[in-house]
Amino acid sequence: MNQKQIKTCLMAILALFIIVGCGKKEVKPVAINEETDKCEICHMAVKDNEFATEIMLENGKSMVFDDIGCMYKWMQENSDKKIAHSFVKDYDSKEWIEADTASYVYDKPIKTPMAYNVISFTDKKGAQSFINQHGGSLLTYEKLEHHSWEKNEEMVKEMKEKMKMHDSEDSMEMEHSEDSH
């Protein structure tokens, strides 16, 4: 090989390294700590389950939410913040997915932690399969921006009643425990 060919080959290799180095870095959500993580909106504990969502700001701050509706409420209230990435969990696999690539299902009877009744799927096929079995409406990421983020008040009332019953059962157990000592 002459010097011109060697120079051309080295330039091609250098260009390849530059292109590979400038590729999009894979960003992953921060793991949820169920003992300490609280939803930024409702301050309830965030479970590492099919309802968890996460936002990463451009400044590197990460925030978790217990319901897609809470995430959207935060985005509406903080429209001045620069969001770098947002993640949701696939309803079936519970794996993290980029929110802007997911498909969503809304149906009033779907139970979610804060009663916003929207769940996410990796793709349209998974969402459509859920709809075929349980009903609901297919939503895209773009449609979520215009979705009416209202809580299902009947479901909220039902959840509060269950919490009251659970609290009274706990206090009865404590009284029974104290009486037996």
- CA 160-148-43 angle, 5° bins: 40
Of residues 22 and 33, more confidence is placed in: 33
pTM of the shown model: 0.76
Answer with the residue of higher pLDDT: 66 or 1: 66
- Cβ atoms of 82 and 63 closer than 8 Å: no
Q: How far apart are alpha carbons 144 and 52 in whole angstroms? A: 16
Token pair listed for 112: 């979610």
- Give the residue with greater pLDDT, 163 vs 133: 133
Between the alpha carbon of residue 28 and those of residues 25, 31, 55, 85, 119, the distances in Å are 10, 9, 11, 9, 20
**93-132, pLDDT tens digit by residue?**
999 999 999 999 999 999 999 999 999 999 999 999 999 9
* 181 vs 102, residue with greater confidence: 102
**Does the pLDDT at position 75 exceed 80?**
yes
Which of 47, 79, 80, 39 is closest to 63 using CA atoms? 39
Cα–Cα separations (whole angstroms), residue 65 to 27, 68, 99, 124, 155: 18, 7, 13, 23, 19
Asked if 66 contacts 37 with a C-beta cutoff of 8 angstroms, the reply is no
Cα distances (angstroms) measured from residue 126 to each of 14, 49, 89, 168: 43, 17, 13, 40
pLDDT confidence of residue 156: 87
Phi, psi of 60 (to 5 degrees): 95, -10
Band of pLDDT at residue 20, cut at 50, 70 and 90: very low
State phi, psi for 64 to the nearest 5 degrees: -115, 155
